[in-house]
Amino acid sequence: REDFNPIEIAKEYNEVADAMSILTEPFFFQGSLEYLKEISQFAKIPLLRKDFIIDIYQIAEAYNAGADFILLIAKALPQAKLKELYEFAKSIGLEVLFEIHDKEDLEKALFIGAEIIGFNHRDLKTFKMNMELSKELMPLLPENVIKVAESGINDFEMVKKLHNYGVDAFLVGEYFMRQENIKKAVLELKGI
């Protein structure tokens, strides 16, 4: 996005979104923890620190920067480490979005007791999309788990389809960044 101004973009999201994902990973995604700190000063909605979280220090950073929840990628770490990070985050009052890509990831998430599970439709190695991932794994989830669809969501028809599978929430980033009017795009995906 040529006119990338994270603070101005966050102000638009703040008016119409139910939560906001803040990229803090600087090398691959040009994110910054400073963005999270600045946005937390005015945000009225929950903030997700979206990063490759691999240690407790990063979780403490997220908390101190004003995050309400963090992202843990099941594929990135062994189950024991994920459990340690999950339990630490919960102990300091942060929620955890547990990102999965396949059945093996889902088993890790369920073993740990994840309450919010995100189905990332984009394969981390090939970057190919599998929009049926939510449908395939949905029957394996307990009713009380919040189910989040991630990646590849770019129109209201897709939102309706995923909602019919049982998805509760949607994490949309790239699609919104390509839109001239972010507020309008969010409302359109919400069916408003």
pLDDT tens digits, one per residue of 141-177? 999 999 999 988 988 999 999 999 999 999 998 888 8
For residue 125, the model assigns a pLDDT of: 82
For residue 88, the model assigns a pLDDT of: 99
Q: Under a CB-based contact definition with an 8 Å cutoff, are residues 117 and 147 in contact?
A: yes
pLDDT tens digits, one per residue of 21-78? 999 998 888 899 999 999 999 999 999 999 999 999 999 999 999 999 999 999 999 9
For residue 1, the model assigns a pLDDT of: 52
Residues 6+ apart with CB under 8 A from 130: 121, 123
Residue 18 has pLDDT above 70, yes or no: yes
DSSP label at residue 139: G
For 28-175, strand residue ranges (E) read: 47-50, 69-73, 95-100, 116-120, 146-150, 169-171
For residue 5, the model assigns a pLDDT of: 87
Q: Under a CB-based contact definition with an 8 Å cutoff, are residues 119 and 148 in contact?
A: yes
pLDDT tens digits, one per residue of 70-102? 999 999 999 999 999 999 999 999 999 999 999
Residue 2 has pLDDT above 70, yes or no: no
Domains and CATH numbers, the chain: 6-189 (3.20.20.70)
Question: What amino acid is encoded at 66 in this protein?
Answer: G
Residues 6+ apart with CB under 8 A from 109: 74, 98, 100, 117
